[in-house]
Structure 1
Amino acid sequence: MSKQALIVGGTTGMGKATAELLLQDGVEVIIIGRNENNLASAARELAVHGKVKTIALDLNDFGAVTLFNQELKTEAPNLKYVVNAAGYFSPRPFLEHEEGDYDTYHNFNKAFFFITQAAGKILTANGGGSIVNIGSMWAKQAIKATPSSAYSMAKAGLHALTQHLAMELAEHNIRVNAVSPAVVVTPIYGAFIEQDKIEETLQGFNDFHPIGRVGRATDIANTIHFLLTDQSSWVTGAIWDIDGGVMAGRN
């Protein structure tokens, strides 16, 4: 039976780019997304590379998440890889944050926590596997130009979860790692930048990165793919800075 991968938030950006790499390995990919149009589009584009299944799920609806978790064993009996890639980003000053802003970010972590728990039970039954979470540079470094206290708090929590799961799940032959990107050109910025202007707008952050350019989804996906596979079989509990050198220093 083919190995299966679950990508939570795989319709666009880093999750979709990771799905493509896994499909090229012959892995069956299950993509979770909220937007039906994005799910259909991703399925069409990725199907040329292999077998893709899409599931519509709103991570803010914990009742729906619970039902999904109860059905996951049926949907993914051969699960081997998990990627928590869903995200939302809309900078807002701390003194202006409202409860809804806070919940938007932290509901993702609640969903990740329990989806990963359900997936972890399947991985354990299957003899092991690997999990990669997409964290963020903002969890490690505050940037005044993009005030993101609730977002960064949630991502820092995801980094911590990564390390705790690495310790707890190692005995089940499950590796857990995370990537911590800086500015990457993906649709996530559409919450506050018009989609057709994201590419142009983010070019203003090129010099923020010592390497001299913003990231691309494939830059992150290549590392996620490496961390998922046996090429990194001695790596667990790591939070890798895939950030063009930002955490090393500033230009």
Structure 2
Amino acid sequence: MSLAGRVALVTGSGRGIGRAIALALAEDGADVAVNYRSDAESAAETVAAIQALGRRAIPVQASVDSVEDDERMVDHIIDEFGHIDLLVNNAGIASRGRFVADTDPAEMLRVLSTHALGAHHISRLVLPSMRSQPRGDIIMISSVAATSYAPGGAPYTMAKAALEALAFTLAKEERAHGIRVNVVAPGLVDTEMGRRLVKAVTGKDDIRALDAHSPFGRVCRPEDIADTVRFLVSPRAEYLTGQKVTVDGGGGNVG
């Protein structure tokens, strides 16, 4: 088990991509802290699934845009597990799809604070523990939206671009401490957020209706993102840092 002895914090891991990542890391031997903001039931289900794999897991409630919540969360995880050496900044929210001229300033702050400022807070807080370990990994879950820059999504694309800037800066700052920092950028993924996006854009209630027109005959699954993360934090990716991996089947789907 390539991650045996390692402790992961995956933000927003009660559902969707975060849940798939948390389970994948547990399958590879890591103990996992499952962060959630409000859905305690889903977080408990993820924790139970990890424990069924024979790994330790705890749910940790925190709104990632709150420095106070983040401090409490990181302290609690270190108290429980002794250290954190693997962080996946996955927590995210959708923007409301309005043009810049029609965007509420509060919306801009809400989205940026969750995706980028929260990731900065948590990364800063885990670094002292991570530096004390033989290896550290930070993965930022971005989006192809930060490449396509479609109209009506400025808060989201700006937040993801800032998240990527944080990753590439951290990769240079922390390399001397044995910490790898990489970005995974999904396209459209079959999650609750992805299904809402498809309904809003196409009017389709079933995201699987897009399978026939998607790369490899299907929409991307959360497990596809999780498998990319598990590679990047594994011994097979020991010499990779400061990299961005786009996971969209080569199709350039928005996400």
Of 122, 127, 134, the match for 2:134: 127
**Is the alpha carbon distance of 1:52 and 1:211 closer, same or farther for their aligned partners in structure 2, counting shifts above 3 Å?**
same
- Measured after TM superposition, the shift of residue 26 of structure 1 is 2.0
Superposition TM-score, scaled by structure 2 size: 0.86
Which residue number in structure 2 is paired with residue 216 of structure 1?
221
- Measured after TM superposition, the shift of residue 246 of structure 1 is 2.7
Which residue number in structure 1 is paired with residue 9 of structure 2?
6
For the 8 Å contact 1:9–1:31, the answer to whether it is kept is yes
**Is the alpha carbon distance of 1:80 and 1:199 closer, same or farther for their aligned partners in structure 2, counting shifts above 3 Å?**
farther
Of 136, 141, 148, the match for 2:148: 141
**Is the alpha carbon distance of 1:55 and 1:168 closer, same or farther for their aligned partners in structure 2, counting shifts above 3 Å?**
same
Which residue number in structure 1 is paired with residue 247 of structure 2?
242
The Cα offsets for residues 32-63 of structure 1, whole Å up to 9 and x where unpaired, read as 11121221222223321122111111224333
Which residue number in structure 2 is paired with residue 97 of structure 1?
103
- The ranges of structure 1 where at least 4 consecutive aligned residues each deviate by more than 6 angstroms after the TM superposition are 190-194
For the 8 Å contact 1:9–1:32, the answer to whether it is kept is yes
- Measured after TM superposition, the shift of residue 131 of structure 1 is 1.0
- Measured after TM superposition, the shift of residue 167 of structure 1 is 0.6
**Is the alpha carbon distance of 1:199 and 1:231 closer, same or farther for their aligned partners in structure 2, counting shifts above 3 Å?**
farther
Of 43, 49, 52, the match for 1:45: 49
SS in 2 for 1:220: helix
RMSD: 2.5
The Cα offsets for residues 104-133 of structure 1, whole Å up to 9 and x where unpaired, read as 211112121011111111110113311111
Which residue number in structure 2 is paired with residue 111 of structure 1?
118
- Measured after TM superposition, the shift of residue 205 of structure 1 is 4.5
Q: Name the count of aligned residue pairs.
A: 244
For the 8 Å contact 1:177–1:236, the answer to whether it is kept is yes
Q: How does 1:47-66 map to 2 (within 5 A)?
A: 47-49=51-53, 50-66=55-71
Q: What one-letter code is carried by the residue in structure 1 that aligns with 2:20? A: A
- Measured after TM superposition, the shift of residue 177 of structure 1 is 0.2
CA distance in 2, matches of 1:171, 1:93: 42
Q: Which shifted more, 165-174 or 19-28?
A: 19-28
CA distance in 1, matches of 2:250, 2:97: 25
Matched, 1:25 2:31: no
Q: What one-letter code is carried by the residue in structure 1 that aligns with 2:48? A: R
Q: Which shifted more, 161-170 or 74-83?
A: 74-83
Q: Which shifted more, 33-42 or 223-232?
A: 33-42
Q: What one-letter code is carried by the residue in structure 2 that aligns with 1:105? A: V
- Measured after TM superposition, the shift of residue 153 of structure 1 is 0.4
For the 8 Å contact 2:183–2:243, the answer to whether it is kept is yes
Matched, 1:181 2:180: no
Q: Which shifted more, 66-75 or 10-19?
A: 66-75
Q: What one-letter code is carried by the residue in structure 1 that aligns with 2:133? A: N
Superposition TM-score, scaled by structure 1 size: 0.87
Q: Which shifted more, 165-174 or 84-93?
A: 84-93
Q: What one-letter code is carried by the residue in structure 2 that aligns with 1:37? A: E
The Cα offsets for residues 192-218 of structure 1, whole Å up to 9 and x where unpaired, read as 688xxx994433544664444321000
The Cα offsets for residues 222-242 of structure 1, whole Å up to 9 and x where unpaired, read as 001101111111111111110
